[in-house]
Amino acid sequence: MNTLIAYFSYTGHTKGVAQQLQNLTGGTLFEIQPQEAYSSDYDITERQGRKETHDGYRPLLTEQVSNLDSYDTILLGTPNWFNTVTPPVATFLSENDFSGKKIALFCSNGGGGLGHTVSDIRFICKGADVLDSLSIYEDGGADVKAKLMAWLNKNGLNQ
């Protein structure tokens, strides 16, 4: 199994989970970053994120994965923003071809669960095999490692 762990994180929760998944799977970490970073002021980012999500805006990214063909499995991390994937993750999904690849979503959220992130990913990534997704409340809490291991096992992604 050749695994890419691609994620965007604003306040660090998704990043922490992605790092734990890297430890568990030995996969390659890739941080999805917009060319214009979001403001550290939460209220400004909340307003901007709401507008971008509403408009279906897809921000330019700082870099692309150069060798996506060499990965068969993508562990995709995003916070839940307004019930969907964050705009940088939407850009990442739409700029790459995931057909024939497995995508397993892990979605950090503030209580809204997965929202409609899964159907959005299926819509953008036609031809991908979208596996069982994982909703994580904020940083996942003390037993996050056990939750991640169970999720990897369920998807047949344990090493």
Ligand X SMILES: Cc1cc2nc3c(=O)[nH]c(=O)nc-3n(C[C@H](O)[C@H](O)[C@H](O)COP(=O)(O)O)c2cc1C
| Spatial CA neighbour of 107 closest among 85, 131, 126, 90 | 85
Q: What is the DSSP letter of 68?
A: G
Q: How far is the CB of 56 from ligand X (least distance, A)?
A: 15
Q: Which residues contact 8 (CB under 8 A, 6 or more apart)?
A: 14, 31, 32, 33, 77, 78, 79, 86, 88, 89, 92
In the range 40-69, which residues lie near ligand X by CB under 6 A? 45-46, 49
Q: Which is nearer to ligand X, 70 or 119 (CB)?
A: 119
Q: How buried is 56 (Cβ within 10 angstroms: 0-12 exposed, 13-18 middle, 19+ buried)?
A: exposed
Q: Is 155 in the site for ligand X (CB under 6 A)?
A: no
Number of residues that bind ligand X (CB under 6 A): 21
Q: Is 79 in the site for ligand X (CB under 6 A)?
A: yes
Q: Is 110 in the site for ligand X (CB under 6 A)?
A: yes
Q: Is 82 in the site for ligand X (CB under 6 A)?
A: yes
CB 77 within 8 A of CB 5: yes
| Spatial CA neighbour of 90 closest among 125, 62, 65 | 125
Q: How far is the CB of 45 from ligand X (least distance, A)?
A: 5
Q: Is 12 in the site for ligand X (CB under 6 A)?
A: yes
Question: In this chain, which stretch among 28-36, 73-81, 87-95, 117-125 interacts with ligand X, using CB under 6 A?
Answer: 73-81
Q: Which is nearer to ligand X, 45 or 129 (CB)?
A: 45
In the range 19-38, which residues lie near ligand X by CB under 6 A? none
Tally the residues of the chain. Answer: 159
Q: Strand, helix or coil at 9?
A: coil
Q: Is 111 in the site for ligand X (CB under 6 A)?
A: yes
Which residues are near ligand X by CB under 6 A? 9-15, 45-46, 49, 79-83, 108-112, 138
